[in-house]
Structure 1
């Protein structure tokens, strides 16, 4: 089936946080992984990113016309969200719900490719200011 992208996740999360007033979800789409590391991971704040299941090659999925713009949208098949929690010299580490992977490493270059293929979408939770 289809999933959803960062703006939808941020909207839903902020609806949840509305009553709490202490946290908010932020859309970090467009941020490079190095920026996510320095701004969030190094401060022990995990980041949800979009990539592909098991970092497999993305494939072109279904295409449709968008009602509001008339533009064409093409789904990326294999899209998957996972939570970036750490890194070392060669790998990024993720909490990955896919196939009960748990905490799993993926090679940095491969992660950068897959993250880029899904539009560099990322979401984090931070204190509401």
Structure 2
């Protein structure tokens, strides 16, 4: 009797396994039919096996097919609302009273890992050596153009003015091949640069106020309008209300300035900025 029941149990086990294999095979056929668009063609064959395609099963297969055919949708990460970078602080004084731009460049290169001093960079900086000529009233009639190179003398041994992005960019690129000129880009581009972990040399004014007095003189490239309040700093951070700069004149790092006020001076000075991208 025991042997008889054992036989029945073994037989039922085989039937159970066979049923599971059959059901698995039918589901595979249904899924293949739905994915390949052959559901209608396969329906008679499936029904001949005694299995109907129920609506809920068809919808489940449709969802599976759509999921298989549709690529995942990337989720856009929100941008950081504040960034603060730790960059070396280098003071332009006392050696370079008019050398704020090249001193800011020095800080940028040190951040990049290039150990050049401000005096080494000042020696290789482009110059426009056009001599200064004055009008009878003492105003400047003719002088150099800062888009060509540094105008005047940065050391204070003679009258000095400054250098603009076009000429300083070439010097940056000679040290960092991935240098980028961000001049005329929207300010949000400078914030994105900080989000990527890289500061920028940015032109502003000494007191971070829009100048009330401007000067005009003729130059080898034609007339230029500017101000002796012209200044350059290293932009190292921002938040919703402020920006933070390494100021070469005061020697203060992460100096806080109202963002809208700073943007106004940056725009007044021609929206000039230079930096670099990651890479070799």
Structure 1 residue 75: deviation in Å?
Answer: 2.2
How many residue pairs match? The answer is: 120
Map 1:30-109 → 2, pairs under 5 A:
30-38=184-192, 40-58=193-211, 59-61=213-215, 63-68=216-221, 71-109=222-260
Separation in 1 of the partners of 2:264 and 2:198? 23
Deviation at residue 48 of structure 1 after TM alignment = 0.8
SS in 2 for 1:111: helix
Higher alpha-carbon Rg = 2
Query: Aligned-residue CA RMSD in angstroms?
Result: 1.7
Partner of 2:274: 123
Match of 1:7 among 166, 170, 173: 166
- Would the aligned equivalents of 1:13 and 1:24 in 2 still touch at CA under 8 Å? no
Unaligned runs of 5+ in 2: 1-159
Identify the structure with the greater strand proportion.
1
Give the TM-score normalised by structure 2. Answer: 0.40
Q: Which ranges of structure 1 fall in alignment gaps of 5 or more residues?
A: 18-22
CA distance in 2, matches of 1:119, 1:64: 17
CA contact (8 A) 2:233 2:247 kept: yes
Cα deviation, residue 126, structure 1: 2.0
Q: Which secondary structure does the structure 2 equivalent of 1:41 belong to?
A: helix
SS of structure 1 residue aligned to 2:210: coil
Report the secondary structure of 1:54's partner residue: coil
- The structure where helix makes up a greater share of residues is 2
Could you tell me the TM-score, scaled by structure 1's length? Answer: 0.83
